[in-house]
């Protein structure tokens, strides 16, 4: 039979409580760090996705604008050719 005095028992409980509190604090810190890391990763991923979506939209808009500009240039050239043809026909009729 072991005799345990109250002081050593109190010391043991104090040490146990001390280690448990340190462990709980470390676990809380680790959980907070992982939450912060996860939130920053999610934020970064969403920012990257948003930036890529914005870039894709800008590229699409510029492609559409370029196509519209090319179409308008072609239409203008066709109109100029038609006007030149009409004028040349008029000039030929006048002679």
Does residue 71 have a pLDDT over 90? yes
Q: What are phi and psi of 92, to 5 degrees?
A: -65, -35
Mean pLDDT of the 71-83 span: 90
Mean pLDDT of the 56-82 span: 90
- Cα–Cα distances in Å, from 77 out to 68, 71, 81, 84, 88? 14, 10, 6, 10, 16
């Amino acid at each position: 039979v072991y005799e345990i005095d109250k002081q050593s028992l109190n010391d043991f409980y104090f040490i146990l409580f001390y280690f448990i509190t340190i462990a709980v604090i470390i676990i809380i810190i680790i959980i907070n760090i992982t939450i912060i890391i996860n939130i920053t990763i999610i934020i970064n991923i969403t920012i990257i996705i948003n930036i890529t979506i914005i870039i894709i939209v800008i590229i699409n808009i510029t492609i559409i604008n370029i196509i519209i500009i090319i179409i308008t240039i072609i239409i203008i050239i066709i109109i100029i050719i038609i006007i030149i043809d009409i004028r040349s026909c008029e000039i030929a009729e006048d002679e």
